[in-house]
């Protein structure tokens, strides 16, 4: 990775997708301020406080013909410049002043089907396409995030 990994976009919604961009957000242990989930059985809670996704993966999916864009599949933080295949459960990241640990892969559901050609939302399933899934993270150190903040992987 030649460029510094960074936050490309921050996204929230009052429930559902797409999530809409904002320039900055406060993050606490239960998620990003202003964000809400309609389905709290499968989304949200301390181990699924925020959802992260890769700008490079989104661009690759667009190149395949999918109408996906940052925030379309419900990620709170769209990051650029990370080796996404290294984003596995147990990985710790510093996003600006916020510290997180990846807890799991996000299982895609029908609510994101409009972001995919032919509504093939399983395109980003970790089971069928390893390395293409979104990830959930728990917040270890709350704080404020802004677009452009550095993203650092703890080795």
Tens digit of each residue's pLDDT (9 = 90 or more) over 64-98: 999 999 999 999 999 999 999 999 999 999 999 99
Please count the other Cβ atoms lying within 10 Å of the Cβ belonging to residue 111. Answer: 16
pLDDT digits (tens, 9 = 90+) for 25-57: 999 999 999 886 655 555 557 788 999 999 999
Give residue 118's region: left, alpha or beta (phi > 0; psi -120 to 50). Answer: left
Give the pLDDT mean for 15-32.
93
Residues 37 and 15: their CA atoms lie apart, in Å, by 4
Domains and CATH numbers, the chain: 6-147 (2.40.33.20)
Closest CA to 103 of 90, 87, 84, 85: 90
Give the predicted TM-score (pTM) of the model. 0.93
Cα-Cα-Cα-Cα dihedral sign, residues 31, 35, 41, 42: negative
């Amino acid at each position: 990775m030649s460029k510094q990994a960074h936050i490309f976009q921050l996204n929230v919604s009052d429930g559902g997708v797409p999530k809409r961009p904002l320039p900055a957000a406060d993050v606490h242990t239960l998620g990003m301020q202003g964000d809400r989930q309609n389905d709290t059985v499968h989304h949200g809670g301390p181990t699924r406080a925020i959802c992260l996704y890769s700008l490079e993966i989104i661009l690759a999916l667009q190149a395949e013909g999918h109408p996906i864009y940052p925030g379309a599949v419900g990620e709170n933080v769209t990051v650029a410049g990370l080796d996404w295949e290294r984003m596995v459960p147990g990985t710790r990241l510093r996003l600006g002043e916020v510290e997180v640990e990846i807890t799991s892969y996000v299982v895609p559901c029908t609510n994101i089907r409009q972001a995919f050609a032919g509504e093939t939302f399983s395109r980003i399933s970790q089971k069928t396409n390893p390395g293409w899934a979104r990830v959930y993270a728990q917040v270890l150190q709350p704080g404020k995030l802004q677009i452009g903040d550095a993203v650092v992987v703890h080795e």
